[in-house]
Amino acid sequence: MRTDTLPTISRHDYQPYPYQIEKVRLEFDLAAEQTLVRLAFRASSRDGQIRPLVLDGEDIELLEVSINGVALTAQDYQLDEQGLTLSPQTAEFDLVLVSRCRPQDNTMLMGLYVSGKNLFTQCEAQGFRRITFFPDRPDIMSRYEVVLRGDAKLYPYLLSNGNLLESTTLDDGRTQAIWEDPFPKPSYLFALVAGDFDVREREIKKANGQPALLQVYCDRGDGDKTEWAMECLEHSVRWDEQRFGLELDLDRFMIVAARDFNMGAMENKGLNIFNAAYVLADAQSTTDASFHAVEAVIGHEYFHNWTGNRVTCRDWFQLSLKEGLTVFRDQEFSADMLAQGLDGAQAASARAVKRIDDVSVLRAAQFPEDAGPMAHPIRPESYQEISNFYTATIYEKGAEVIRMQHTLLGEENFQAGIREYFKRHDGQAVTCDDFVDSMDSVYRQAKPGQSLEQFRRWYQQAGTPRVQVSLQHDPAAQTATLTLRQSNAPAGIENKSTPKPPLHIPFALGMLDQQGTPLTLHLDGQQGDTLVLDFTETEQSWTFTQIPEAPVLSLLRNFSAPVRVDYYRPDSELALLARHDTDPFARWEAAQLLATRLILSSASGRTPSAAQLATVVQTWHALVQDPALSPAYKARILSLPSERELLEQTKPMTPRTVVQARRQLQRELGLALTPYWQELYQYLSLEQAPYSPDALQAGQRSLRNLALNYLLVAGVNTGPQLARNQYDQATNMTDRMGALSALVNYGDEEDRQDGLDDFFQRWQDNPLVLDRWFSLQATAPSTQVAQVRALMLHPAFSMRNPNRARSLIFQFCMNNMQAVHTPEGYAFWAEQVIALDKLNPEISARLARVFDNWARFEPEARDQLKAALERIQAEPGLSGNVAEIVHKALT
Ligand code: ARG
Ligand code: ZN
């Protein structure tokens, strides 16, 4: 932790490292209290010149260092908080270094740390320097040999990257394991694990006929909860072979679950380390949504083996090179899994469900980021603390930027671009430009005269572009002229005078006639139901022919670009689209927009007209009865936009009125359609096939829970009994949790307390389920700061476990708008940022970000939040992580 502000690092300052390190040998004498690390490598100067050797090192103790066998003394080197600088006498030399770290004291969970009784590492982005002194940067790629020694009882498993060469018992009774990773890798992909585990194994045959061993490790006693993870891992291997032609390049692939983990998971070569929340799953204790999250994260980390590990990032400004691409890949993996076995409109609707969920995440997390002080391009220009840049922009918007390239090239050419990328760069540390170059080489061939040159601006500009739409219909000529205008206002700390030239936006659109029948579009010899326009100018027009009457526009189909669309049109048009659009994404969007308009107008104090409300009710009425919709899709289209998405669209932001207005519409829909919710609920309660998280069952459960919520929120008198029965009779966590959350959020005090007590009794020994128990209370409308404080004193609460801190404190601050947007709420937030910072700055900085957008709130909230931020800033010994966020927020 540092008290001074960190220096700003700029993308343009990149300098290659003067030395190459081909091979690294690491020896560990492992123990929780203190671990000794012996590092040996040969460094050779890239240009033959003798230069200082600068090694990063943080929070570790240097015990010995020698060059070419000669021990150095303190006069021979410079050692400070940041690391070690040596002055070698030759351009090539052997270095040996012994250092000590203290895993038990490592509450940051970066570097080598203890979780339960086991030892784990987390090195991305800059954790390796907390293990040993090293050039801890992604462009130093070396082959690692790793020797692990540890107590045989405590650490029966000693794991590292690559292949196990030998495992022996030493004279002193300890175990020693030697691992060798055949692939050169940067230090951030190094990993070790020591501990005792349950192990699930599966032998598979790769596409090339070779066998591979898949292993999933977890805490003893949890072994029966790893079947799904293993299933997902095998699916991931198959999917990457089939869709991307990429094979597993290892004989052994390991996943290890850790209880304490800062993020979701980590793609260390051959040894992925996961937050247990993304590994463990069974019907009893895990919701459908979590089953799908496990699938997505296992896919994500596995896909990194090629997009991230075989080809990695030259520097951390290129983070989206691997993250955006890999999120795109995991999104497609999940979509393909949902659409498996379906075709035509059914497959499209299954994929649309995934697209809807992904776009909702983008809008709830990335749009606000782009509108706040931390706004940055997917390839940032500068940063102070890299761990603050594992953001929704790098990941989710990064994935959208890859997806747009996929849209522009089409699947076949996109895959050709991927092949070109690996042909050019396998084994290298490269840049986002290198990736686009590969795609561009294929694009230029496929579309002579065009290129991705302008497209690259997506890597340079922050902010969410706006697209304004206007339409002119000429009945005499039977033409419709569409005009699009794009703008992208300065975002975050972007200089207001920096020009933002127009982006290359693939804009997908369709049209319906006034009866809702889809029109075939005709444009300059092109023809189709959906056309993708190359929108490249600030203002641009297209004239469609053979359109006798004014059409209804279906805009930005499948969300073809991460932009906001402004188009003024009557509610009746949205209602028509919500019923008839053939693009399932745009159809959902139309329904959302209809509800959004109503909620936002009542949030701003205008009472919606009876006609406006009637349009929404009639639309919901038609949708709830539509037999053609899949249950999963129906659940999405009948849900109201989230509070966060709605809040984002108010100016200034008025959280409490948004929550009330949303709740009001929920109630109206619950009341107006009561018989339909009841009927839907009963119908979906009939069949009870053995549990599976598949799309059909999960869809049915989510729709049933939605119906239950509408009944409870509307105060329908049969509601609570239905919920109590569902809770008692549940055979899976989705049903149990659905019922409990309905009772906790909308039930009476007695139901709430009974439910929570019973749930605690049942699940107190399962930490992941207990997290849900905390979250549920954190977000309940009846919860105030005082209850959260009381829960923090519960014996099961701990600030040190990131999942637990997130489940209570983050959930309260992010998702209990009524209670957190109060003077006590803000004070609580600031207090917790400060408290967490002393333990885990990376996590604390994420909490600090919750209100970095303070300036967009209504005046009273704004002043209070600003004061809270200033309180944080004034705290002595603040970490660089939090300091960066607070500083940017207050600038
Ligand atoms: N590369 C990992 C993933 O996307 C995330 C690691 C982030 N680590 C961190 N300390 N911020 O799967
Ligand atoms: Zn990733």
Distance in Å from the first CA to the final CA of the chain: 22
What pairing do the DSSP bridges indicate for beta strands 9-10 and 53-56? unpaired
- The whole-angstrom distance between residue 313's C-alpha and the CA centroid of its chain comes to 19
Ligand 2 centroid distance, CA of 809 (Å): 25
What number does the ligand 1 atom closest to the CA of 262 have? 10
What are the helix (H) ranges across 764-810? 767-779, 785-792, 802-805
Quote the pLDDT of residue 5.
Answer: 65
| pLDDT tens sequence across 594-614 | 999 999 999 999 999 999 999
Quote the pLDDT of residue 3.
Answer: 42
Is residue 189 in contact with ligand 1, taking CB distance under 6 Å? no
Ligand 1 centroid distance, CA of 395 (Å): 10
What integer is the mean pLDDT of 478-500?
A: 92
Confidence of residue 494 (pLDDT cuts 50, 70, 90): confident
Asked whether the predicted pLDDT for residue 364 surpasses 50, the reply is: yes
Ligand 1 centroid distance, CA of 165 (Å): 28
Distance CA 580, CA 870 (A): 51
Whether this model's pTM surpasses 0.90 = yes
**pLDDT mean across residues, the chain:** 97
Quote the pLDDT of residue 841.
Answer: 98
| pLDDT tens sequence across 651-682 | 999 999 999 999 999 999 999 999 999 999 99
| pLDDT tens sequence across 3-39 | 456 899 999 999 999 999 999 999 999 999 999 999 9
With beta carbons less than 8 A apart as the criterion, state whether 192 and 148 touch: yes
| Among protein residues, the one whose CA lies closest to atom 2 of ligand 1 | 266
With beta carbons less than 8 A apart as the criterion, state whether 803 and 277 touch: yes
What number does the ligand 1 atom closest to the CA of 127 have? 10
CA dihedral of 128, 132, 134, 139, whole degrees rounded to 10: -20
What number does the ligand 1 atom closest to the CA of 386 have? 11
Catalytic residue among 58, 301, 385, 842: 301
Is residue 726 in contact with ligand 1, taking CB distance under 6 Å? no
Is residue 387 in contact with ligand 1, taking CB distance under 6 Å? yes
Quote the pLDDT of residue 26.
Answer: 99
Helix, strand, coil tally for the chain in percent (to 5): 45, 20, 35
Written as one letter, the residue type at 116 is G
What integer is the mean pLDDT of 775-790?
A: 98
| Among protein residues, the one whose CA lies closest to atom 3 of ligand 1 | 266
Asked whether the predicted pLDDT for residue 1 surpasses 50, the reply is: no
CA of 390, nearest ligand number: 1
Confidence of residue 171 (pLDDT cuts 50, 70, 90): very high
Give the lowest-confidence range in 221-230, 360-369, 485-494.
Answer: 485-494
Is residue 323 in contact with ligand 1, taking CB distance under 6 Å? yes
Ligand 1 centroid distance, CA of 268 (Å): 10
Quote the pLDDT of residue 493.
Answer: 78
What integer is the mean pLDDT of 633-639?
A: 98
Ligand 1 centroid distance, CA of 595 (Å): 36
Residues 6+ apart with CB under 8 A from 409: 416, 417, 439, 442, 443, 446
Nearest to 504 by CA among 554, 549, 447: 447
Quote the pLDDT of residue 515.
Answer: 98
Is residue 267 in contact with ligand 1, taking CB distance under 6 Å? yes
In percent, how much of the chain has pLDDT > 90? 98
Substitution site in 121, 124, 185, 189 for ligand 1 pocket (most atoms within 8 Å of beta carbon): 124
Quote the pLDDT of residue 687.
Answer: 72
Nearest to 785 by CA among 816, 758, 753, 751: 816
Ligand 2 centroid distance, CA of 326 (Å): 6
Distance CA 441, CA 452 (A): 9
Known active-site residue 301? yes
Ligand 2 centroid distance, CA of 756 (Å): 35
ipTM: 0.98
CA of 330, nearest ligand number: 2
Is residue 265 in contact with ligand 1, taking CB distance under 6 Å? yes
| pLDDT tens sequence across 432-475 | 999 999 999 999 999 999 999 999 999 999 999 999 999 999 99
Is residue 301 in contact with ligand 1, taking CB distance under 6 Å? yes
Substitution site in 255, 390, 394, 840 for ligand 1 pocket (most atoms within 8 Å of beta carbon): 390
Asked whether the predicted pLDDT for residue 2 surpasses 70, the reply is: no
CA of 322, nearest ligand number: 2
